[in-house]
Chain A
Amino acid sequence: QVQPQQWGAGLLKPSETLSLTCAVYGESFIGYYWSWIRQPPGKGLEWIGEINHSGSTNYNPTLKSRFTISVDTSKKQFSLKANSVTAADTAVYYCARVGSTSPWGQGTLVTVSS
Chain B
Amino acid sequence: QSVLTQPPSVSGAPGQRVTISCTGSSSNIGAGYTVHWYQQLPGTAPKLLMYGNSNRPSGVPDRFSGSKSGTSASLAITGLQAEDEADYHCQSYDSSLSAVVFGGGTKLTVL
B103's closest neighbor in chain A, by CB?
A44
Q: Do the beta carbons of B98 and A44 come within 8 Å of each other?
A: no
Segment 29-81 of B: residues with Cβ below 8 Å from A: 34, 36, 38, 45-48, 51, 57-58
Q: How far is the CA of A76 from the CA of B31 in the complex (A)?
A: 33
Q: How far is the CA of A50 from the CA of B102 in the complex (A)?
A: 15
A74 in the interface (beta carbon within 8 A): no
Q: How far is the CA of A59 from the CA of B99 in the complex (A)?
A: 7
Given contacts A99-B36, A100-B48, contact A44 B2 (CB under 8 A): yes
What is the number of residues of chain A that contact chain B, defined by CB distance less than 8 Å? 24
A98 in the interface (beta carbon within 8 A): yes
**Chain A residues near B101 (CB-CB < 8 A):** 47
Segment 29-72 of A: residues with Cβ below 8 Å from B: 35, 37, 43-47, 50, 58-62
Q: Mark B94-106, 1 if CB is under 8 A from A, else 0.
A: 0001111111110
A8 in the interface (beta carbon within 8 A): no
Q: Do the beta carbons of A107 and B89 come within 8 Å of each other?
A: no
Taking the nearest CB of chain A, how far is it from the CB of B58, in angstroms? 8
B45's closest neighbor in chain A, by CB?
A104
Q: Do the beta carbons of A44 and B48 come within 8 Å of each other?
A: no
Taking the nearest CB of chain A, how far is it from the CB of B3, in angstroms? 9
Taking the nearest CB of chain B, how far is it from the CB of A8, in angstroms? 16
Q: How far is the CA of A55 from the CA of B16 in the complex (A)?
A: 47
B28 in the interface (beta carbon within 8 A): no
**Chain A residues near B104 (CB-CB < 8 A):** 43-44
Q: How far is the CA of A98 from the CA of B46 in the complex (A)?
A: 10
Q: Do the beta carbons of A105 and B45 come within 8 Å of each other?
A: yes
Q: Do the beta carbons of A46 and B48 come within 8 Å of each other?
A: no
Q: Do the beta carbons of A98 and B36 come within 8 Å of each other?
A: yes
A78 in the interface (beta carbon within 8 A): no
A101 in the interface (beta carbon within 8 A): yes
Given contacts A44-B89, A98-B36, contact A103 B47 (CB under 8 A): yes
Chain B residues proximal to chain A, CB less than 8 Å: 2, 34, 36, 38, 45-48, 51, 57-58, 89, 91, 97-105
Chain A residues proximal to chain B, CB less than 8 Å: 35, 37, 43-47, 50, 58-62, 94, 96, 98-101, 103-107
